[in-house]
Structure 1
Amino acid sequence: MTVPDIHSLVPHSGAMSLLGSFVSADEENLTAEVRIGPDTMFLAKGVVGAWVGVEYMAQAVAAHAGYVATQRGEPVRVGFLLGTRRYACAVPAFALGSVLTIHVHRALQGDNGLGAFDCCIQEVSEDGSVKELATATITVFQPDNVEEFLQRSSE
């Protein structure tokens, strides 16, 4: 399997494309990495606030949708983060130099474009142990036609 560029799977661009690299994926799961470096978006005083973990998870869900679409020969489409349930984070922030692994698993997917993903953020320490830093269920919506959906939503 050719490893895709994570940025080709997510319809974000520039500084708002927060994921660093693609690790693995299949029809139900995706794993991506984020390296917290000096140029990382939202870095302040050497840390990224734990609240950004929700966006890391949401972008990994978007990358999963992009991965599944490209496997089917379809274009990457825009989706919407509807919300999160039970976001729990064991740390107040992600430290400069951290390598975060974001795992998403599709828990359900409706024919109407609604979906829910169980997500977690982990960090592998220098001794090889894995620490779970954050968990949540992310709820998303991907309409068949984004322009039509947005037009209807603004009326």
Structure 2
Amino acid sequence: MLDSRFDSRLFELIPHRPPMLLINEVLSVDEKSSSARVRVDEASPFFEKGHGVPAWIGLEYMGQTAALIAGHQLQQGLVSPHLGFLLGTRAFKAECSYFEAGQYTVRCDEKAIVGDGLATFDCFIETYQENSQTMTCLATASLSVFRRQI
């Protein structure tokens, strides 16, 4: 039985499972980009009462959203099965210490593939501000991922 907190497409595209599945819904995915929704509430992993989820967990939100691209590429026959390992990040910047209760959009764009083994992604975590009807970027990073064939 699937957990109702999660979009069933997640289970088709990435290997993550609760309690370490941290994104909740696939918003879009294609060969080079993806976006996902994260719902932060008291049932969220790493939630700290009175604060929310620490901003550094955003790196994993970004990593799982980037993994959606690889899952889509695999479904389309564009890549062979592989494992993705986060090697590192450059320029992680967060405008907050915690993601408070609410909904967030995570976007990832595949920027480069080096051979069969290394991929880089530009990633963003945003929230919609109803009072100004705009998206506000709360975190950005460039991720480096090693792809190991299985």
TM range (shorter): 0.7 to 0.9
Deviations, residues 89-112 of structure 1 (Å, cap 9, x unaligned): 00110001x111000000101223
Q: Does the CA-based 8 Å contact 1:11-1:77 persist in structure 2? A: no
Q: Which residue, 82, 85, 109 being the options, matches 1:80?
A: 85
Which residues of 2 match residues 61-100 of structure 1 at below 5 A?
61-72=66-77, 77-96=82-101, 98-100=102-104
Which residues of 2 match residues 48-127 of structure 1 at below 5 A?
48-72=53-77, 77-96=82-101, 98-127=102-131
Give the SS at the match of 2:35. Answer: strand
Give the SS at the match of 1:139. Answer: strand
Name the counterpart of 2:145.
Answer: 140
> Higher strand proportion, which one?
2
TM-score (norm 2): 0.87
Counting matched residue pairs gives 142
Structure 1 gap segments, 5+ residues each: 146-155
Query: Counterparts of 2:27 and 2:20 in 1: how far apart (Å)?
Result: 20
> Higher helix proportion, which one?
1
Deviations, residues 14-54 of structure 1 (Å, cap 9, x unaligned): 21011100001111100111011221000012400001000
Q: Which residue, 15, 20, 25 being the options, matches 2:19?
A: 15
Query: Counterparts of 2:106 and 2:125 in 1: how far apart (Å)?
Result: 5
Query: Counterparts of 1:117 and 1:69 in 2: how far apart (Å)?
Result: 17
Name the counterpart of 1:151.
Answer: none
Q: CA RMSD in A?
A: 1.8
- Give 4+ residue runs of structure 1 displaced > 6 Å after superposition: none
Q: Which has the larger displacement, 4-13 or 115-124?
A: 4-13
Deviations, residues 41-72 of structure 1 (Å, cap 9, x unaligned): 00012400001000100111111111111122
Name the counterpart of 1:24.
Answer: 28
Q: Which amino acid aligns with 2:26?
A: F
- Could you tell me how far 1:129 is from its partner in structure 2? 1.4
| Seq. identity, % | 34
TM-score (norm 1): 0.85
Q: Which amino acid aligns with 2:134?
A: S
Query: Counterparts of 2:79 and 2:8 in 1: how far apart (Å)?
Result: 15
